[in-house]
């Protein structure tokens, strides 16, 4: 079974430029998450989708960040314009509905996109 797929793996951009990250969750996982992980810190949730609906975007900085999951499968996270402080690893994760999961709440993470803003 394929895991969570993310691209690109690495991205280097100048500040004020736009950037986009793509995620394809594990087949059958209806819940998708975007996290930001700074060096030496745990992942911090940016947004959670149930199918195509963003059910928790309270931590997403909406002035510059946006996300979409139009058909309830893959998702895109965008930053426009990027700032120096946005340099981090952006992780995508997915999970089954709790009632179907062997470990309800378990999230499966993709390899992440390491963003460097110069």
Partner 1 sequence: QKEVEQNSGPLSVPEGAIASLNCTYSDRGSQSFFWYRQYSGKSPELIMFIYSNGDKEDGRFTAQLNKASQYVSLLIRDSQPSDSATYLCAVLNDYKLSFGAGTTVTVRA
Among 34, 43, 60, 117, binds partner 1 (CB under 8 A): 43
Q: Nearer Cβ to partner 1, position 45 or 54?
A: 45
Q: How far is the CB of 112 from partner 1 (least distance, A)?
A: 5
Buried b / exposed e across 25-45, counting CB within 10 Å, b at 16+? Answer: bbeebbbbbbbbbeeeeebeb
Assigned token pair, 12: 């280097």
Closest by alpha carbon to 6, among 17, 26, 21?
Answer: 21
Q: Which of residues 59-118 bind partner 1 (CB under 8 A)?
A: 91, 98, 103-112
The yes or no reply on residue 8 touching partner 1 (CB under 8 A) is no
Stretch that binds partner 1, among 18-26, 36-44, 64-72, 74-82 (CB under 8 A): 36-44
């Amino acid at each position: 079974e394929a895991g969570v797929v993310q691209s690109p793996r690495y991205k280097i951009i100048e500040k004020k430029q736009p950037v986009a990250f793509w995620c394809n969750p594990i087949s059958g996982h209806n819940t998708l998450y975007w996290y930001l992980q700074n060096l030496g810190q745990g992942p911090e949730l940016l947004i959670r989708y149930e199918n195509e609906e963003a059910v928790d975007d309270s931590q997403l900085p909406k002035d510059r960040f946006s996300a979409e999951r139009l058909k309830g499968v893959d998702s895109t996270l965008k930053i426009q314009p990027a700032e120096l402080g946005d340099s981090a690893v952006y992780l995508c994760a997915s999970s089954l509905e709790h009632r179907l999961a062997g470990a309800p709440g378990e999230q499966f993470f993709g390899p992440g996109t390491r963003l460097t803003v110069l």
